[in-house]
Structure 1
Amino acid sequence: MRSLLVALLCVLVTAPPALADPRPALDLDAATIPQLVRRMDAGTLTAVELTRAYLRRVDTVDRRVRSVLAVEPDALRQAAESDRRRARGQARGPMDGIPVLLKDNIDTRSGSTAGSRALRVPPRDDAELVRRLRAAGAVVLGKANLSEWANFRSTRSTSGWSGVGGQTNNPHVLDRNPCGSSSGSGAAVAASLAQVAVGTETDGSIVCPAGQNGVVGLKPTLGKVSGDGIVPISARQDTAGPMARHVVDAAILMSALEGRGADYARGLTADALRGARVGVWRKAGRNAEADRVVREAVDVLRRRGAVVVEVELPYQDRIDAVEFPALTTEFKHDLEGYLKTRPGAPKTLRELIAFNEADPVELSEFGQELFLEAEQAPPITDPTYREQRRTATELARRSIDEVLAAHRLDVIMAPTNGPAWKTDHANGDAYELGSSTPAAVSGYPNATVPAGFAGPLPIGVSFMAGHGADAEVLRFAASFERAAPARRAPTYLPTLP
């Protein structure tokens, strides 16, 4: 009996554990899409396992962040279909099996609300960009909260709040603001609640939440991504774009969003900065911490062999004077056109104003001053409006084109954001620093990448260039990311120490 017991103990000590998993652990925060694809191709990860991992984080972590409005009920079915395609050798590319969150002003058959209780009846079909994602094999994981109506309802709105989703928090410091209006997309990606997300921008609504949440964002050249099925502010400035923890993932998602065989990841290199001429638009004096991060970023550029040229972008005051009045006219025209496609929704801005006045939630935190102003705005045939739009677009393009040409620049770098302000429903946003307007109004590309911190709060830098230079700004963002990897996972501090 004793010898039998000894023999059994020897077997238990020397034999490998029967339930040991030989596969490497899955670090969602650090993993890139190419790494995940390699694991799925090798059979050490499935799309179902990846999707389940993100769903578990949504179920647990998002209780603090409040960035996800809804999870797609068929997300695991989508993932299982991806696994079957891969098993047959028919994977559709690098997005196949990758979970994506969509800002909830992007139509899916399951719904899109723009954060408003007025749009609770689902749209009739997916937006065109969603059809492209599905064609690429992506797993549509769910919908992200946003600043209601893409932050175009009130003059004192609070970014990240909507009547449907409540207040989204910045995952780095929970009482700090995630910036708008793609606040949920930025916060969710930072908190590793999806591999990537899609945001939208009219002026700053991709790059600001990316900067304040410490992730990568690309505001593409206007027209690169279809605007079909997206709740609008203005067709003259609106665009969807990718948000991610890594530049390579943003490039891969951008390729799927654009379609037409685009491959933005192919040109990403570590040495893009060597020999490049980079204009630095410092916007100094607005925030000391942002100034320090820009100085450190300039040091990185020089160490990597870039020629740094100090620049100022002209015409900004004149652009600011005409951009907003042009947007109010465009908002009324474009939103009413969209509302006519939505079942069960108000069909005019006047009806939407009346809905808000009668609803117990919609006006509980701030008003609808911009709705009231837009309802009285002149039509798009008005000569004054037409001159405002012409002036805004022309001067914004000249502000970039002329500086690029005068200094023979490859790209312009600027601070994306200052440290996130404390969320304050009584007074609204305390926005103090941004550089989004020239690229947003001109329709040119703008990529932001994490660059540093003010204590626990992220600060990004943006790379912008001329029309169609999306691949170039991504290439410079990737090279900077490689040279100075600043992003870190959030720690969910309840407040600043």
Structure 2
Amino acid sequence: MRPIPKHSRLLLPMLAAMLCCACQRTSSATPAGEPPFPYQEAGIAELQARITAGELDSVTLTDAYLRRIALLDRAGPALRSVIEINPAARREAAQRDAERRAGRIRGPLHGMPILLKDNIGATPMHNTAGSLALKTFRPRRDAFLVQRLREAGAVILGKTNLSEWANFRSTGSTSGWSALGGQTRNPYALDRNPCGSSSGSAVAVAANLAVAAIGTETDGSIVCPAAVTGIVGLKPTVGLVSRDGIIPISFSQDTAGPMARSVADAALLLAAMAGRDESDPATATMPGRAVYDYGARLRPDALHGARIGVLRNALAERAEIKPLLDQAVAAMRAAGATVIDTALPSEDGWEKDEQTVLLYEFKNGLNRYFQQWRTPVASLGALIAFNDAHASQELHLFGQELLLQAEQAGSLNDPIYIAARGNARRLAGAEGIDATLRADRLDALIAPTTGAAWRTTPGKGDDYPGGSYGAAAVAGYPSLSVPMGHANGLPLGLLFMGPAWSEPRLLELGHAYEQLTRARRPPAFAPTP
């Protein structure tokens, strides 16, 4: 643990209680009767140091994670977070070890086993979005971001379960469920939901089934699962990471992003993933200095002199959340930040327009993906028909109302769509986040990411507590969820939001907060809290 800065000493009594939880990283994170996992909570820098010291290699590390997946995901608590293992994972690890012996080290991700959400194409595996309609589909090449990760030396360990079709199938869906993968379970309390749609990526990282994972988000699908499983999740600015090879919902809002146990690891992943790609026009909007060595910018005193705005929304006033948010604010102030209460002038005013945009863009993008990648179903209409024909497997828990609504949407030249897209982005971006930051000269906004994980009730939808991430999602701006603490044994996250391309600042602020509070602790796989 890094030392607490001098200007934080007034918070020592409060921080001691928070830190003691983080220090108890014992075998409680492994089911009773099983030996402690040797790489429990290990981050990228620690693992690389152990490899450099000759204590470890990538094959050994990969084998250890594969055994842990078999122990916890397929058996034991049966988390159901991993939907497919990469059959070439061990060979990839052996190649990285051979390169290291030859003196070729590609970077900090060299030899690190990483999981991918199962809507991101990666050979030789399937890409299914959790749907039986795509269970035989194998993309002919890697998605652009997977190419980047492999060039950086990462080992692709496998694919993670998700809310089917990234939770854009039904108004009554249960997050974390797919027909192919079943119901993903929250490792902190197995009867609780992991949120979605990057459910498997979040759970796998929280349970130490991989070094880190990649998720995707349209509106909350990275940061919500990250928050309720006690990990770090970063949704980048739309256009920083290519969407090539990813099964889409919305080209206005979709992005992939890192999910890790620390801000430092998320920063290293983002540096490897980010970059321009001719196949994704959104990346052409990237400023010349948008891609950084994000990890090199992290410093524990980044909060000193920062100006932070707290969104005191309804979520922030919930009894289980308010004390933790107040502690977070106090910690930042003691670290030298100016923290003021603020509000978005157009709070949630974009929701109706956002839904219109998603319906239009989902139909257009999905049909294009099906045609470009030559999938077993050729259109959204064919997918709807497939689900009807396989209703006992696909539709027994909830329907496909959103697919049906999207099928009725018109072209992207429709004035209804054009107006909705403009209104949504303006209200969330220029007149929302941007206006709020400018009014009080703020570096970032913070708010509770979402509430605590709710009980999973198959067939009855989600008892969703609400979230603070909608504005950043609709505007296409970055958001970062960092562990904030626990309520009744369940993790809660703190969300950092900023303007477009502000990832470097958000990451350094989130890292400083993380180092100050050390709020993450590994899960105990409890039947119920």
> Which residue matches 2:98?
84
Unaligned runs of 5+ in 1: 1-24
| SS in structure 2 of the partner of residue 181 of structure 1 | coil
**Partner residue of 1:73?**
87
**Are the equivalent residues in 1 in contact too, given 2:472–2:478 (CA < 8 A)?**
yes
Matches within 5 A, 1:17-96: 27-62=38-73, 63=75, 64-96=78-110
2:266 is the counterpart of 1:274: no
- 1:374 counterpart residue number: 406
Q: What corresponds to 2:22 in structure 1?
A: none
Partner deviation per Cα, 1:402-456 (whole Å, 9 max, x = no partner): 1111101111111001110000113101112211111111111101100011111
Question: Is 1:203 the counterpart of 2:219 in the alignment?
Answer: yes
- The CA distance in 2 between the partners of 1:334 and 1:281, in whole Å, is 34
Q: Does 1:444 align with 2:472?
A: no
How many angstroms does 1:259 deviate by?
Answer: 4.5
After superposition, what is the alpha-carbon deviation per residue over 1:59-95, rounded to whole angstroms, capped at 9, x for unaligned? 1011321100011011111111111111111010000
Q: Verify: 1:356 aligned to 2:387, yes or no.
A: yes
- CA distance in 1 between counterparts of 2:468 and 2:314 reads 11
> Following superposition of structure 1 onto structure 2, how do residues 190-269 of structure 1 map, counting pairs within 5 Å?
190-259=206-275, 262-269=292-299
CA contact (8 A) 2:173 2:461 kept: yes
Instruction: Give, in whole Å, the separation in 2 of the partners of 1:284 and 1:428.
Output: 22
* CA apart distance, 1:295: 1.1
**Alignment-derived partner of residue 111 in structure 1:** 126
The separation in 2 between residues aligned to 1:284 and 1:291, in whole angstroms, is: 10
Q: CA deviation digits over 1:292-313, x for unaligned, max 9?
A: 2211111111111111110101
- 1:176 and 1:265 map into 2 onto residues whose CA distance is 33
**1:167 maps onto 2:178 in alignment:** no
Partner of 2:87, secondary structure, is coil
Query: Which residue in 2 is equivalent to 1:295?
Result: 326
**When the two structures are superposed, what TM-score results if normalisation uses the length of structure 1?**
0.93
In structure 1, how many angstroms separate the alpha carbons of the residues matched to 2:492 and 2:312?
A: 13
C-alpha displacement of 1:241: 0.1
Q: Secondary structure in 2 aligned to 1:54?
A: helix
Residue 494 of structure 2: aligned partner = 461
Contact (CA 8 Å) 1:284, 1:291: kept in 2 or not? Answer: no
- Give the unaligned 5+ runs of structure 2: 1-35, 277-290
CA distance in 2, matches of 1:89, 1:325: 53
1:323 counterpart residue number = 354
Structure-2 residue corresponding to 1:406: 439
Contact 1:32–1:246 (8 Å) recurs in 2: yes
Matched, 1:432 2:465: yes
**Contact kept? 1:122, 1:342, Cα under 8 Å:** no
Task: Rate the CA distance shift 1:344–1:444 in 2: closer, same or farther, 3 A.
Answer: closer
State the TM-score, normalizing by the size of structure 2.
0.88
Question: Aligned equivalents of 1:457 and 1:336: distance in 2?
Answer: 39
SS in 1 for 2:297: coil
Per the TM alignment, residue 343 of structure 1 is displaced from its structure 2 partner at its CA by: 3.3
Is the Cα–Cα contact under 8 Å of residues 452 and 465 in structure 2 kept in the other structure? Answer: no
For the residue of structure 2 that corresponds to 1:288, the secondary structure is: coil
Shift of 1:98: 0.3
Q: Is the 8 A contact 1:282 1:415 kept in 2?
A: no
Q: Which residue of 2 aligns with 1:17?
A: none
Question: Which protein has the larger Cα radius of gyration, Structure 1 or Structure 2?
Answer: 1
Cα contact 2:235–2:480 (8 A) shared by 1: yes
Residue 495 of structure 1 pairs with residue 528 of structure 2: yes
Residues 179 and 212, structure 1, Cα contact 8 Å, conserved in 2:
yes
**Code of the aligned partner of 1:312:** A
Q: Which amino acid aligns with 1:395?
A: L
Q: Deviations over 1:357-383 (max 9, x none)?
A: 001311121100000111111211101
1:5 equivalent in structure 2: none
- Residues in 2 aligned to 1:317 and 1:135: alpha-carbon distance in whole angstroms: 40
Q: Distance in 2 between matches of 1:288 and 1:297?
A: 15
- Which residue is equivalent to 2:29? none
Matched, 1:336 2:367: yes
Task: Render the CA deviation track for 1:197-219: whole Å, top value 9, x for unaligned.
Answer: 00000000000000000000000
Tell me the SS of whatever aligns to 1:346: coil
Q: How far apart, in 2, do the equivalents of 1:75 and 1:238 lie?
A: 28
- Tell me the C-alpha RMSD between the 2 structures: 1.3
Contact 2:108 2:268 in 1 (8 A): yes
Q: Partners in 1 of 2:488 and 2:526 — Cα distance?
A: 12
Distance 2:47 2:227 in 1: 25
SS at match of 1:217: strand
Please tell me whether the aligned partners of residues 447 and 464 of structure 1 are also in contact (alpha carbons under 8 angstroms).
Answer: yes
- SS class of match (2:350): helix
CA contact (8 A) 2:449 2:492 kept: yes
> Counterpart amino acid of 2:303?
L
How much has 1:315 moved relative to structure 2? 1.1
- Paired AA for residue 417 in structure 1: T
Question: Would you say 1:283 and 2:313 are equivalent positions?
Answer: yes
Aligned counterparts of 1:480 and 1:344: Cα–Cα separation in 2: 44
Query: 2:174 is matched with which residue?
Result: 158
In the TM superposition, residue 180 of structure 1 has moved relative to its aligned partner by 0.3
Report the Cα distance in structure 2 between the residues aligned to 1:461 and 1:455, rounded to whole angstroms. Answer: 17
Identity among equivalent pairs (%):
52
Q: Distance in 1 between matches of 2:51 and 2:99?
A: 11
Contact kept in structure 1, 2:58 and 2:97, CA below 8 Å: yes
